[in-house]
């Protein structure tokens, strides 16, 4: 049994489509309260701004969800799960969710940045029992691979490595790879299509590889880098092309892409 449970997220906005009603007014403040309290190591003064009944409800909900995750962890220790992942959805460098992840890790749990893609990553992990696939990550902006994506708490390099390892893949050099993973990563900061936050687009030259390859376009969250896409479609996509992904968070993009490529590779080379 491969299982996952999401650590309760903290959205950095005032949209309540997937949150409680009060998030439409207090969501960003609650995010800031969480971020600053963790970063400072003491309660942030933002607590004086958010109505106490709202903050109390939010913290009680967090505590309930955290206690449930600890129960799942006990089940794993009893042998109920082969793999159990605690996913960090809509994360940041600091926050209550980051603190909870660390606490679960200290109790023996395994945490992973990202959430929506986790079922696909676990599917890849299941099918790579047939054969461990060798993948070489290649960053188009290698000097910026230590930067942190929006909605995440680890660098884009660590995010890539984490997705590959959880998917049961082996990280190797270009020469030894079954598949090349090109990552169109960002300079300075990741853009955001939905929130209309720009960033410097890809200005290099895209050359079609001679080996099997896939492309994770994470220069923007929630969409593609159009400059990069124009270069890709200017070339004919041959049988070496194993997929392109650019949606939601960097982890979402990576996990779904890797799963698709893994399944395609096994179907073409093993079955």
**Tens digits of per-residue pLDDT, 205-252?**
999 999 999 999 999 999 999 999 999 999 989 999 999 999 999 999
Q: What pLDDT, on a 0 to 100 scale, did the predictor assign at position 264?
A: 96
Question: What confidence tier does 130 reach under pLDDT thresholds 50, 70, 90?
Answer: confident
Comparing 101-105, 236-240, 251-255, the range with the smallest average pLDDT is 236-240
What mean pLDDT, rounded, does the chain reach? 95
Neighbours of 60 (CB within 10 A): 10
Which element (helix H / strand E) includes 40?
helix 23-40
For residues 77 and 89, the model is more confident at 77
Question: Given a cut of 70, is residue 89 above it in pLDDT?
Answer: yes
Q: What pLDDT, on a 0 to 100 scale, did the predictor assign at position 91?
A: 82
Comparing 43-47, 96-100, 166-170, 260-264, the range with the smallest average pLDDT is 43-47
Task: Give exposure, 84-115, as e/b (b: 16+ Cβ within 10 Å).
Answer: bbbbbbbbbebbbbbebbeebeeeebebbbbb
CB 54 within 8 Å of CB 14:
no
- pTM score: 0.89
CB 121 within 8 Å of CB 163:
yes
d(CA 145, CA 5): 28
User: Comparing C-alpha atoms, which of 247, 117, 113, 254 is closest to residue 193?
Assistant: 247
Give the mean pLDDT of 163-177.
Answer: 97
Question: Given a cut of 90, is residue 90 above it in pLDDT?
Answer: no
Question: Rounded to the nearest 5 degrees, what angle is found at the Cα of 166, between the Cα atoms of 165 and 167?
Answer: 90
Q: What pLDDT, on a 0 to 100 scale, did the predictor assign at position 15?
A: 86
Q: What is the pLDDT of residues 225-237, one digit of tens each?
A: 999 999 999 998 9
Q: What pLDDT, on a 0 to 100 scale, did the predictor assign at position 271?
A: 64
Question: What confidence tier does 18 reach under pLDDT thresholds 50, 70, 90?
Answer: confident
Question: Rounded to the nearest 5 degrees, what angle is found at the Cα of 203, between the Cα atoms of 200 and 205?
Answer: 155
Give the mean pLDDT of 261-266.
Answer: 96
220 - beta bridge partners? Answer: 191
């Amino acid at each position: 049994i491969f299982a996952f449970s999401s650590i309760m997220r903290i959205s950095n906005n005032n949209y309540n489509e997937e949150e409680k009603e009060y998030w439409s007014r207090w969501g960003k403040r609650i995010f800031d309260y969480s971020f600053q309290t963790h970063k400072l190591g003491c309660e942030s003064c933002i607590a004086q701004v958010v109505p106490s009944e709202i903050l109390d409800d939010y913290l009680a909900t967090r505590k309930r969800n955290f206690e449930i995750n600890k129960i799942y962890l006990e089940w794993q220790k009893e042998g109920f799960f082969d793999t159990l992942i605690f996913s960090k959805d809509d994360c940041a460098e600091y926050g209550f969710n980051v603190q909870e992840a660390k606490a679960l890790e200290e109790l023996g749990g395994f945490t992973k940045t990202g959430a929506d893609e986790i079922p696909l990553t676990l599917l890849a992990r299941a099918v790579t029992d047939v054969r461990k696939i060798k993948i070489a990550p290649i960053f188009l902006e290698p000097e910026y691979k230590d930067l942190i994506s929006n909605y995440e708490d680890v660098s884009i390099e660590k995010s890539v490595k984490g997705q590959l390892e959880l998917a049961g893949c082996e990280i190797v050099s270009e020469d030894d790879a079954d598949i090349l993973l090109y990552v169109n990563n960002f300079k300075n900061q990741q853009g955001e299509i939905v929130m209309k936050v720009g960033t410097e687009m890809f200005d290099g030259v895209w050359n079609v590889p001679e080996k099997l390859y896939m492309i994770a376009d994470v220069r923007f969250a929630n969409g593609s880098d159009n400059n990069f896409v124009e270069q890709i479609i200017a070339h004919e996509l041959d049988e070496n092309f194993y997929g392109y992904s650019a949606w939601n968070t960097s982890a979402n993009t990576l996990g779904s892409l890797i799963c698709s490529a893994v399944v395609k590779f096994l179907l073409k080379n093993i079955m």
